[in-house]
Structure 1
Amino acid sequence: MERNYQLIPRGEMEPYFDGKQSFLRYNKFWKNVTKTRYDPEVVNFRLMLIQAMAFSEGLFNGVGPLDTCKNQPFYVWNIPANEDNIIEMYNNCLLANETVINNNPTYNEQTYTYANTTLKPIAERMTNDYGIYPPLNPEDDIIKSRYYWDMSIYYQYSYGNTLNEQTGCVYYTQLVNSVENYLNGSSIMVADLKNGHTHTMFLVLTILGAAKNPFPLSANLTLSQITD
């Protein structure tokens, strides 16, 4: 693959190719979208800005008026993260901050128990067997160590708390409203795209019931259940 020197491999190449793939897959939709009808919005974080720009370049590269590459200029607009209640709805939700992100006894109990019953023996064995920096970790230990973060995501951003199954509603509400505004002629904006952090995507998927585990993620799951 020829190197695109306009983009850095970390953080830009993937959204660039996402844009190209989206244009090919939904060509009937995108070929009718002009500059005034495309509205990329991001939270005011550097990574979000460069990813939105890379996605836009992949989406419209070759169809614009600029130079031999025919790029199409687009402005990515953003608002401060602490004022964004759609992309950063989770961090700006008072109830989520008071009961899910913080002061979450179920999350604290499960992760504390798992850290002491599973991670502590692994750490002790690694230290005794290899020293502080082991050259290679057994595969089971890697899976068990990663599961700690799976539990963290589960309880703080996904099905481990019922509030997480509701928080993403604000995202879909604005999406449906924007589509209805276009269909009824009150807006010419066809694509109102919002680029958020991973925790935003977890909430958006959770409210849809996507990738739901058959059982709760808890500290006492067996290795076969973790890998199932």
Structure 2
Amino acid sequence: MPITDTSYVALEFDLKGLNTTVNGFKTWIRTLNVSEAANTRLNITLYRANSTVVRTHNNLEVVNLIPDNITLIDTKLWNYTADELSYFTFDISNAHNLNVSNYFIVIKSNNSNEVYSLVTLPWNTYGDINVSIDHQLKTTQDDGGTWKNAIKQINTTGVTYPSGQLDASSFRLNVTRGYMPSDFSVNETYTLKIQNISINPLVISSSPYNESSFL
């Protein structure tokens, strides 16, 4: 997906837990023109989304989440000439104490030419093993005036192939937050231990301690 000074990409995610810090993220950005990249900078900004939704495939397909420009959390400029999965940090003095909500990482450049592009995949074909939308990928062609779910049109030999809705794949967050019970479930196996003793299940189900007044 192209990245210019008017064509942005936005990676959606949600946070679980209070007082969360977003330290940074990994994504694959390609440098298409190394010589021009020497005088171009990436601008990466963290925003809160305009709404909060329950994380389901259907919601991520149909709910029109967009970056809320009023709630800018942090922004940084980057000199960048790579073509690989790269790590970008946020200023944690700004990106801290964040609550349960949906957020966007918006990526643009200060160049009108397509010096950079974002590498991604459609959620339902061409190698995305999850066959589901992990994170919304939004694009704008008018400097953030309007946003839509990213779709790539591939033109070859006079035929146009639409990709379908693209997913923000190859996208990983680095956050600091409190633990949740689901953090200790790996492939439906509980991994939580106390003094090397497995704790399973994570829910107290025996009476009378299963009643909230006894907890």
Query: Could you say which structure has the higher strand fraction?
Result: 2
TM-score normalized by the length of structure 2: 0.25
* Relative contact order higher in (CA < 8 Å, ≥ 6 apart): 2
Query: Could you say which structure has the higher helix fraction?
Result: 1
Which of the two has higher C-alpha Rg?
Answer: 1
